Structure 1
Amino acid sequence: MRKYIFHITITVIATLFAQAGAFAQEGTSKLIRQGNAQYKKQQYADAEASYKKALERNNKSVEGSYNLANSYYEQKRFDAARQQYANTIKTATGKDVKADASYNIGNTFMEDKKWEESIKSYKASLKANPADEQARYNLAYAQAMLKKQQQQGGGKDDKENKDKQKDQKDKKDQEKKDQQKQDQKQNQDEKEQDKEQQQQPQPKPSKLSPEEAKRLLQNLAQQEKKLQEDKMKKVKGTPGSVEKDW
């Protein structure tokens, strides 16, 4: 990160400034100098407070805005630093300030390993200052890291796809094995049922002795005779038509 401290020579034209404005400008500069001294002592939180007070007096102070961003950066508050550098770019008119602010924005993205964003910022820095070799080096480094990340990501995706395909194949194989086991069990159950049925005692035709057969025939003959007699009685007892004797 570039610890950028402004050294500005101001030519004051008395007719353009009121006395109150001059006092306000002096107060802003004093607070910025105080912040710079604290910054050099690595008292970054104190420096932050001084720069904020300076910006309360003059919110267009490029030096106060830039160095406030630096104090955020040193406290590893990269999101806040990034936003403050962006504010500096909006208010700054000089290309050098814009280039350095863009460079430091790239550094904040590098800290978070956001390679694409850092590449964009370093390119913006080089656009403002094409002679900046540090920005060029960091740009090349970020591009290399992005390429490496993409290669690793692609390899990871391939591995995940292969693992997923393997899991699906293992699942199908297991389902097939389970179905085969179920079919085997069903076949075994059916075989056992058939075996049990074969083992059950089957009804056998009874064998009659000659005497039992003779008695059975006699009984059948008697029953047949009785049926014939009952039939005849019914016929005889049936009422018929009677002719009248006129």
Structure 2
Amino acid sequence: MKKILCVILCFQIGIICSQEENRDQIINEANQFIATGNKVLIKDGNFPKAEGEYRKAIAKNPVNPTAKYNLANAYYNSEKYDEATHRYTEAAKVASAKSEKHKAFHNQGNTYMEQKKYKEAVEAYKNALRNNPKDDETRYNLALAKKMLEQQQQQNDQNKDKDQNKDQKEDNKDQKEGDDKEDKKGDDGDKEKEKGEDQKDKEGDKGEDKKDEGDKEKDDKGEPKDEEKDKGKDQKEQEGEPKDQQQQQQQVQGKLSPEQVKSLLEAMNNQEKKVQDKINAKKAQGSKVKTDKDW
């Protein structure tokens, strides 16, 4: 029984020793990749090759903060700030020492400053100071980040006010243009109305002219005018010839017998005598007597 326990114990110790050797080998291989990356980056400036070496180290030993930190620095120097920020965050997570965390957060703050993300930079520098409160460089960068953030906020507020004023001016301009269009539309409507009334008046005058012309044509083609009728009537009265006497004269102009001529002359004499009597009677009275109206 004791022999079996000793065998099991020795087997476990062997496994542990093997794991330790394997672990040390992994760490050594990862460190070798890191060293190669540093060498080609610093000596030759070959970023693509250095990036490849750092990635190999991370794949070999994912908990190695140095490989991730150095890869983040390589991205930062190549101005690949988004990738650098991501790798600094990973390095800070796997780092166990405060000094390593401090460096990762400090450089992450620098990356945010390059991107003008001052709010994020302030938080990164604060995290760095939590791990190393005595670092004056980090403290200075924090103060600078705060100042830049304040200026950025003021600039944003000014730009916001400018945009609001611009929008207000545009709204006022649109309102003014709309009012001008309405006024112009109203003026055009009044002009159209006046034009229509003028046209209506012209048409009415034209109609009256046509009516007058029609009346004139009717007078020319129809019966004589009242003035002409009155003129004819006055002419007959001036002649002093009654209608019956005219008919008698017309008959005289024809072929009449002596007896008819004698009778006609007597009738004319009698008529003239009656007229003369009436004239004498009026002269004797001195004024005209008003007669009754006929029924």
Range into which the TM-score falls when normalised by the shorter chain = 0.7 to 0.9
The alignment partner of 2:89 has SS state of helix
The equivalent position to 1:26 in structure 2, one of 28, 33, 57, is: 28
> Are 1:192 and 2:208 an aligned pair?
no
> Are 1:108 and 2:114 an aligned pair?
no
> Residue deviations 1:45-86, cap 9 Å, x none?
222211222222222222222212212222222222211111
Aligned residue runs from structure 1 range 9-158, under 5 A: 18-41=20-43, 42-158=45-161
The 1:29–1:212 alpha-carbon spacing in structure 2 relative to 1, beyond 3 Å, is same
Question: Contact between 1:45 and 1:71, CA under 8 Å: does it hold in 2?
Answer: no
Question: Contact between 1:102 and 1:125, CA under 8 Å: does it hold in 2?
Answer: yes
C-alpha deviation, 1:108, in angstroms: 1.3
Between structures 1 and 2, the one with greater helix share: 2
Stretches of structure 2 lacking an aligned partner (at least 5 in a row): 1-15, 231-295
The 1:212–1:114 alpha-carbon spacing in structure 2 relative to 1, beyond 3 Å, is same
The 1:136–1:191 alpha-carbon spacing in structure 2 relative to 1, beyond 3 Å, is same
The farther-off stretch of 117-126 and 78-87 is 78-87
- 1:233 corresponds in structure 2 to none
Distance 2:121 2:109 in 1: 4
> Residue deviations 1:80-139, cap 9 Å, x none?
221111111111111111011001111111111111111110110011111111111111
The 1:183–1:93 alpha-carbon spacing in structure 2 relative to 1, beyond 3 Å, is same
The 1:18–1:139 alpha-carbon spacing in structure 2 relative to 1, beyond 3 Å, is closer
Distance 1:213 1:121 in 2: 124
C-alpha deviation, 1:211, in angstroms: 9.8
> Residue deviations 1:21-67, cap 9 Å, x none?
33333322222222221232222222221122222222222222221
The equivalent position to 2:163 in structure 1, one of 139, 155, 160, is: 160
The alignment partner of 1:76 has SS state of coil
RMSD of aligned residue pairs (Cα, Å): 2.5
The equivalent position to 2:178 in structure 1, one of 149, 157, 175, is: 175
Question: Contact between 1:44 and 1:74, CA under 8 Å: does it hold in 2?
Answer: no
Larger Rg computed on CA atoms: 2
Could you say which structure has the greater relative contact order, defined with CA pairs below 8 angstroms and 6 or more residues apart?
Answer: 1
Aligned residue runs from structure 1 range 213-224, under 5 A: none
The 1:18–1:192 alpha-carbon spacing in structure 2 relative to 1, beyond 3 Å, is closer
Distance 2:20 2:178 in 1: 89
The 1:213–1:173 alpha-carbon spacing in structure 2 relative to 1, beyond 3 Å, is farther
Distance 1:30 1:195 in 2: 104
